[in-house]
Structure 1
Amino acid sequence: MDSSTIATDPQTVLNSAVLQLPDYLPYLELCLNWIALTSHGITSLTMGFLVLLLHCLPQLLRIQNLAPTLLLFLYAHFAFSILSTPYQIYRVIQWRTPGTFTQNNFSPYTLYWLSLPELVYYGTIPSTVFLLAIERCVCAKWPLSTVKRHFSLIMAAVFAFILLVNTVGHLIELPLDTNAVYFCETASCTTTTYRLYVHLVSKIVFSCANVACSLALLFMLRAIDSAAKLKNRVIIFTVIVELIFGVFPCFVSILYNQVLNLPIGAPNSGLKGEIAITCCAFDGAMCGILYVSVLLKRSHGVSTVANAVTTVPGAPKNLQKAHENLPKIS
Structure 2
Amino acid sequence: MDQSSTALPTPNSTFLELPDYLPYLELCLNWTALITHGITAICMGFLIWAMHCQSQLLRVQQLAYSLILFFYAHFIFSVFCMPYQMYRVWRWQAPGTYTQNTFSPLALYWLSLPELVYYGAIPSVVFLLAIERFVGLKWPLSFIKRHFSLFTATMFGIVLLLNIVGHLLEFPLDMGLVMICETASCTTTIYRLYFQIVSKITFSCANVACSILLLVMLNGIDKAMKLNNRVIIFTVIIELIFGVLPCFVSILYNQVLALPIGAPNSGLKGEIGITCCAFDGAMCGILYILYQLFPETDEEMV
Q: TM-score range by the shorter chain?
A: over 0.9
Q: Which has the higher helix share?
A: 1
The one of 53, 59, 62 aligned to 1:62 = 59
Which residue of 2 is the match for residue 106 of structure 1? 103
* Identity percentage of aligned residues: 67
The one of 228, 231, 240 aligned to 1:230 = 228
Aligned pairs (5 A) from 1:43-192: 43-99=40-96, 102-192=99-189
Distance 1:271 1:40 in 2: 19
Distance 1:57 1:229 in 2: 21
Count of aligned positions? 296
Distance 2:142 2:291 in 1: 22
Whose radius of gyration is greater, 1 or 2?
Answer: 1
The one of 285, 288, 294 aligned to 1:288 = 285
Question: What runs of 5+ residues in structure 1 fail to find an aligned partner?
Answer: 14-18, 310-330
Which residue of 1 is the match for residue 10 of structure 2? 7
**1:268-318 deviation line (CA, Å, top 9, x unaligned):** 00000000000000000000000001122x4xx6534x5241xxxxxxxxx
CA-CA distance at 1:100 after TM superposition: 8.5
Relative to structure 1, is the Cα distance of residues 43 and 100 closer, same or farther in structure 2, using a 3 angstrom cutoff?
A: closer
CA-CA distance at 1:32 after TM superposition: 0.3
Partners of 1:20 and 1:102 within 8 A in 2:
no
CA-CA distance at 1:65 after TM superposition: 1.2
Distance 2:41 2:128 in 1: 21
Relative to structure 1, is the Cα distance of residues 278 and 74 closer, same or farther in structure 2, using a 3 angstrom cutoff?
A: same
Which stretch shifts more, 48-57 or 69-78? Answer: 48-57
CA-CA distance at 1:164 after TM superposition: 0.2
Report whether the alignment pairs 1:303 with 2:301. Answer: no
Distance 1:137 1:229 in 2: 10
* TM-score, normalising length: structure 2: 0.93
Distance 2:240 2:226 in 1: 21
Matching residue's letter, 2:297: S
Partners of 2:123 and 2:204 within 8 A in 1:
yes
Distance 1:157 1:262 in 2: 38
Question: Secondary structure of 1:209's partner?
Answer: helix
Report whether the alignment pairs 1:256 with 2:249. Answer: no
Matching residue's letter, 2:128: L
Which residue of 1 is the match for residue 3 of structure 2? none
CA-CA distance at 1:216 after TM superposition: 1.3
CA-CA distance at 1:225 after TM superposition: 6.5
CA-CA distance at 1:148 after TM superposition: 1.5
Partners of 2:226 and 2:301 within 8 A in 1:
no
Distance 1:225 1:153 in 2: 29
* TM-score, normalising length: structure 1: 0.85
The CA RMSD over aligned residues, in Å, is: 2.0
CA-CA distance at 1:8 after TM superposition: 2.2
CA-CA distance at 1:151 after TM superposition: 1.2
Partners of 1:294 and 1:303 within 8 A in 2:
no
Relative to structure 1, is the Cα distance of residues 145 and 57 closer, same or farther in structure 2, using a 3 angstrom cutoff?
A: closer
Partners of 2:54 and 2:61 within 8 A in 1:
no
